[in-house]
Amino acid sequence: MPFDESKAKPRHAPPSESDVAFYAAHTHRGLVEYETFLDFKRNDVINKKVLDLGSGPHGRFARELEVQYGEQVDVTSFDFIHSATRAGSERSQKSVAGLFSQLPFKDNSFDMITSLYGFPFYSPTLEISKKILRELIRITKPKGTIVLWPVLEAFLSMAKDIVQDKATVSWEDTSDTFGNFPRGRVTITKLPNVS
């Protein structure tokens, strides 16, 4: 029987008011924190198209980049929680509501895709993770990167299997930086000749 994604609750259920309150309370990070977790440099974001997957209700990563770099950054905050939050000053400029597994973006759209405590952290099943990975590769530009944290090392072989000859995948143990949290960072780079 095919897997019914709509039954993969609660992470694929519409966000409730308490979800919004919970994520709003837990996503007040500063730019340095994002830089540390995601290990990106200024040149990775300036004049680049960035997608933040699982941005949290306020699109905090986008806002921090906008405060620091102004119009030199172009960040889209993607989260199903945006369907439950009202547009307003708290939101970053570009907020798109949706599920990780149904990304409404064209092929080769983004130079960098980030996800901090988003994907695969909240992916409910391995099958959905595979589907999301294929989609992420599709919407990443050639030579673009996807940076995910936190990720278990076991994710690496699955990701390599999925991206095959379309991208390189590496996993870095970050437990030294982040204490006893035994997880790492995955970086996926789409190859230049893949469209």
Ligand X SMILES: C[S@@+](CC[C@H](N)C(=O)[O-])C[C@H]1O[C@@H](n2cnc3c(N)ncnc32)[C@H](O)[C@@H]1O
Residue located via tokens 């909240």:
122
Closer CB to ligand X, 18 or 164, in the complex? 18
Residues 67, 69, 72, 76, CA torsion sign? negative
Closer CB to ligand X, 80 or 155, in the complex? 80
Question: Does residue 81 touch ligand X according to CB under 6 A?
Answer: yes
Residue 155: CB minimum distance to ligand X, A: 16
User: What gap in Å lies between CA 121 and CA 92, rounded to an integer?
Assistant: 23
Structure tokens at 115: 């996800």
Here's the x/- map for ligand X, 10-49, by CB under 6 A: it reads as: -xx--x-------x--xx-x--------------------
Question: Does residue 113 touch ligand X according to CB under 6 A?
Answer: no
Helices (H) and strands (E) in the chain, counts: 6, 7
Taking CA 31 as the corner, what is the angle to CA 77 and CA 109, rounded to the nearest 5 degrees? 35
Closer CB to ligand X, 36 or 194, in the complex? 36
Residue (of 189, 155, 172) closest to 36 by Cα position: 172
Closer CB to ligand X, 26 or 134, in the complex? 26
- Which positions lie near ligand X, rule CB under 6 A? 11-12, 15, 23, 26-27, 29, 54-56, 60, 79-81, 99-100, 116-118, 122
